[in-house]
Every structure is written in structure tokens, then in C-alpha cells.
Structure 1
Amino acid sequence: MMNWLILLPLFVLSTNASFSNWGLSSVLPSILKHLPVANCNISALSLPSCSLPAPTAGLHLQYVTLGRGTQNYTCSSSSSSATPVAVGATAILFDASCVASLDTTILHNLPDLLKRVPLSGAEITTQLLDWLTGQTMKLGKHFFTAEGAPFFDLRHAGANDDFARAAKVAQVDAPAQFALGETRDVAWLQLKGVEGGIKEVYRVQTAGGGPPATCEGMPSSFTVDYAAEYWFYA
């Protein structure tokens, strides 16, 4: 029974499910107070198999998170001769350690579900789960600095040096699995920390976030929803 209960908070988050619709409104608080939904042991986990370089020897996995946010783009014109230019991203980072330690196959399917949840719904649901469980599922945030550097801030629930101003080291295309009419998945990345206690970051199992092929009919700036796993090493 405990196995599926560990997944319940992420199920609620990924589907924006209503407690009352499932008849759980009266029992969830008492269940969740005793349920591990964050800060589970991830020491035995390995990065998903891919052609990115392996984590540097001597580093240890610190966090496994699910990121939900937007990839941001600009267009110089709205014609088919122009192509979108990536100008950064923003995302909320949620603790995925418990579902990852339970079953990584389930974890790898969550980004595709999470990208369908409105950003406001994801934040509200997480705040509710934090209150119900007394644990913290929102670990931090991802954004780009004014200088264009990717930044990961995990100090919300971690140590003072749990952050990284990072630089991209390698990237590979995401597996081609998008459906007709859906956005393409952004690339999988390896990044190195150039400032902060986090030394390497991997973005894998991406869902959405890719731009259209051209700027035809697009505004000068726009965003595309995405979700992904982020693995942090130090």
C-alpha cells in the first residue's frame, strides 16, 4: 500500500486532480502527514542512460527534481524566413527523490504529465501538499541571469551553497516521441557549475519546450511550456 501512497502527491501535482472528486478530502491530511514525499535517499540512483558524458568521478548525486516552466524565445519577424532564437528559461524545481527512489520508470513518465499542468495549478497544488505533509516539495527555481547564464537556486530547502551559475558542456537531441500537433522536446543537457556548490547539472527526460520551425505567425517574443528532470551533483 505504501508504494502507491508515495506516488499520490506527484499524481495530484501532475494531473491537478481534485481531492473531493476522489473522495479523499477527509482522509488525505492524516495519510500525508506520515507519508515520505520529499528528501528520500537517492544515493543508489544512476542518471538515465544517454549519450551525454557521465558525471565526473568523485561527485555525488545531491538532488533529483522535476522542473516545470517555460522555454523563452524571440523572433526578429513573423515571416517563415525567420527562425526562433532561444533566450533562456524559467522553471520551478520540485523534489522528486521519493518517486525516483521508488521507481525511475514512473519518474521518467512524469515530465510528460507535468507539462500539461498549468503553472499556477502546479504551484498551488505544491503549496497545499507542503502544508498537508509538513514537508517541502518545492526545492527551488531555475532561471537565466541578466548575462544569459543558466542559474539553479536550491537554497530554498538546502544549504547556502546549493546553487549553480552554470555553463553548457554537452547536449543531445531528445528522443523523437512527440505527437502530431505537440511541441518538440528540448534537448538533454549536461551543464557544469562555474559558481556555487552544485558542480554538475543534467537536464534529461524533457517534455515540450521546443519552438516552432519558423517564426511565421509568431509574436516578437513567446514562451513554450515544458517539463524535465534535473539531476544535480556536487
Structure 2
Amino acid sequence: MHFSGLILASLATGAVAAPTSNVFNDVYNFDSNLEEFYSRVSAHIGRYANGPSSTPDMSKVSLPSSSLPAPTGTLKYVAVGRGTQNYTCADSTADAVPTLIGAVANLYDASCVAANFPDLLDLITDIVLNYSLPSANVQTSMPPANLDLLGHHYFETATEPAFNLNTTPDKQLGIALTAKRNSTAAPSGSVPGQFNVGYGAVPWLYLTSVTGTTDGYTAVYRVKTAGGAAPSTCAGQPAAFQVQYSGQYFIYA
């Protein structure tokens, strides 16, 4: 499902009917970001009487500015990732430091949002961190923007992040196996964790493809991260634990 005029209309209806009392705000986690999202959706309604194009013009999409190397390929997809960063601890004392052992996330297709409604993309990325963690096996779209499942992110080996876009027999978009080439700290002010509580946002990354990649994918950028960082020490932590995060993935070929 694309982020179409029909979806905009349905979201605007939700915006009009959004809960306003503190009691309902608590029940529905209706925070200021979600309020801003619905407000902006309502503002977009009049721009697209027949709905925006269902085929996103990716030439209009720009990678967020950072110190990471500039992209050289053609942008194919923009995805919102929602999952966990996974860590281990040698022991549960302050002398040990958590070790990152990978990540697992669902990737949701935000290409149309990035091309047609760029002002909504960052809001969506922050908002979804406060939603329940999705199951990897569920094909349902992701609220609040009803983004379709694009694929799955996991680690093929300890050093090879994978982006598998083959989700169904009829939706075979290929696999990007990658290696980290560069990273930079998430900007100051990034969302530190769920409901704005946590240890910080994981770094932004520049990944390039390695052997095993299909369909011509060349690079993946992880940007606009929210949450995911581990505590500074293992004090009180189990041997293995997860920290929830969200982020944007720009996939190039």
C-alpha cells in the first residue's frame, strides 16, 4: 500500500477525532509527535485531490546531511527500520562493557513518503519507536502511516549486516549483504529511546555491498536513528539483552 491520498484522508479523520484529554492520551500514547504527524497529514490533504503519485520519484529524495561519504549510486528504496540492537555482557558488573552482536529489524517501505512527504519521514521514524515491537513473520503494514513491509534486516555473519528484501514468493527484490565502511555519532538531540527514555541513539552508518549481494545493490546508509544504544557498563545487565530502536535506511544500487 502506498502513502496515497486515501490513506491521507483516513489519517486526517483520525487527526480530527484524536483524543485530547490526558486520560486518553495515556491510553493511546498520543504524544506531541503523533499530534504533529496528524496535523501535517491534514495539511497535505488539499495538495493531492487525486492522491500523490504511486511511483515515487527518488530523484527528489536527499540523504540526510552528515560526515558520512556521499552516495554515488542510484537511490532505490528508503525504509524505516524497527527492531532491536542486540548485546552481550561477559558479566553483570560495572567493569564489563556491553558488546554489540548484531541487530534484527523489520524494514518498511517509506520511499513514497520520502519522495512526496519528506516532512513526515522523521516524525514517523521517531513515532514508531513507541509502538509495540513488530513480529518478523507478520506482513501487516506499520502504523501510523501504513507503510508496507519491504524486508528484513539481520546479520548474515558477525560482520555482515544483511538487508533481505525477498519477503514473499511474489515480492523478490533481492538481498544486500554489506560491511561497515564508516560511521558517525547520531546528532545531539536524537531520540534516546522509547518514550524519550534510554541510553541514546545508535550511530549513523555507511555500509557497502560484499559478495553474495544480488540485484545490483551497492550501499546502504543507516541514518536518523532513535534509541538502540546500550548502557555504558554491564552493571545489572543479563548475559544477553536487546535495546529497541528505529532508523532510516537508504538503499542504493
Per the normalisation by structure 2, the TM-score is 0.71
What is the distance in 2 between the residues matched to 1:160 and 1:185?
31
The count of aligned residue pairs is: 209
Greater shift, 139-148 or 195-204, is seen at 139-148
Aligned to 2:99: 85
CA contact (8 A) 2:81 2:246 kept: yes
Contact between 2:106 and 2:134, CA under 8 Å: does it hold in 1?
no
Task: Report the Cα distance in structure 2 between the residues aligned to 1:218 and 1:66, rounded to whole angstroms.
Answer: 28
Counterpart residue type for residue 8 of structure 2: L
Shift of 1:2: 3.5
Partner-residue secondary structure (3-state), 1:218: coil
Task: Give the aligned residue type for 2:140.
Answer: Q
**Structure 1 residues 7 and 105: alpha-carbon distance in aligned structure 2, compared to 1, 3 A threshold:** farther
- Quick check: 1:54 aligned with 2:70? yes
**DSSP-derived class of the 1:43 partner:** helix
**In the alignment, what sits opposite 1:222?**
241
User: What is the distance in 1 between the residues matched to 2:60 and 2:131?
Assistant: 30
Tell me: CA distance 1:223–1:6, structure 2 relative to 1, closer, same or farther (3 Å). Answer: farther
In structure 1, distance between residues paired with 2:165 and 2:218: 13
Percent identity for Structure 1 against Structure 2: 38
| Aligned pairs for 1:82-231 within 5 A | 82-120=96-134, 127=140, 137-156=148-167, 160=172, 162-177=174-189, 178=191, 181-195=197-211, 196=213, 197-231=216-250
Q: Deviations over 1:74-104 (max 9, x none)?
A: 0001001111000000000001012111232
C-alpha contact 1:6 1:99 (8 A) present in aligned 2: no
- The whole-number CA distance in structure 1 between the counterparts of 2:185 and 2:9 is 32
> Within 2, Cα distance between the matches of 1:189 and 1:47?
12
Does the CA-based 8 Å contact 1:6-1:37 persist in structure 2?
no
> Is the Cα–Cα contact under 8 Å of residues 6 and 36 in structure 1 kept in the other structure?
no
Gap regions ≥5 residues in structure 2: 16-24, 29-49
Cα 1:46–1:87, aligned 2, differ >3 Å: closer, same or farther? same
Q: 1:73–1:147: structure 2 CA closer, same or farther, 3 Å change rule? A: closer
CA distance in 2, matches of 1:48, 1:111: 13
Partner SS for 2:93: coil
Q: Aligned to 1:119, what secondary structure does the other structure show?
A: coil
Q: CA distance change for structure 1 residues 148 and 38 in 2, over 3 Å: closer, same or farther?
A: farther
* Contact 1:38–1:137, Cα closer than 8 Å, also in 2: no
Query: Which SS does the other structure have where 1:62 is aligned?
Result: strand
Amino acid at match of 2:244: D
CA distance in 1, matches of 2:98, 2:86: 9
CA distance in 2 between partners of 1:89 and 1:231 (Å): 17
CA RMSD of aligned residues (A): 3.6
Residue identity opposite 1:230 in structure 2: Y
Q: Which is worse superposed, 80-89 or 148-157?
A: 148-157
SS of residue paired to 2:113: helix
Q: Name whichever of 100-109 and 219-228 sits farther off.
A: 100-109
Alpha-carbon offset, residue 148 of structure 1? 3.6
Q: How far apart in 1 are the matches of 2:67 and 2:225? A: 15
Q: CA 1:214–1:128 in structure 2 vs 1: closer, same or farther (change >3 Å)?
A: closer
Partner SS, residue 164 of structure 1: strand
Of the two structures, which has the highest relative contact order with CA contacts closer than 8 Å and spacing of 6 or more? 1
Specify whether residues 118 and 77 from structure 1 end up closer, same or farther in structure 2 by C-alpha distance, changes over 3 A only. same
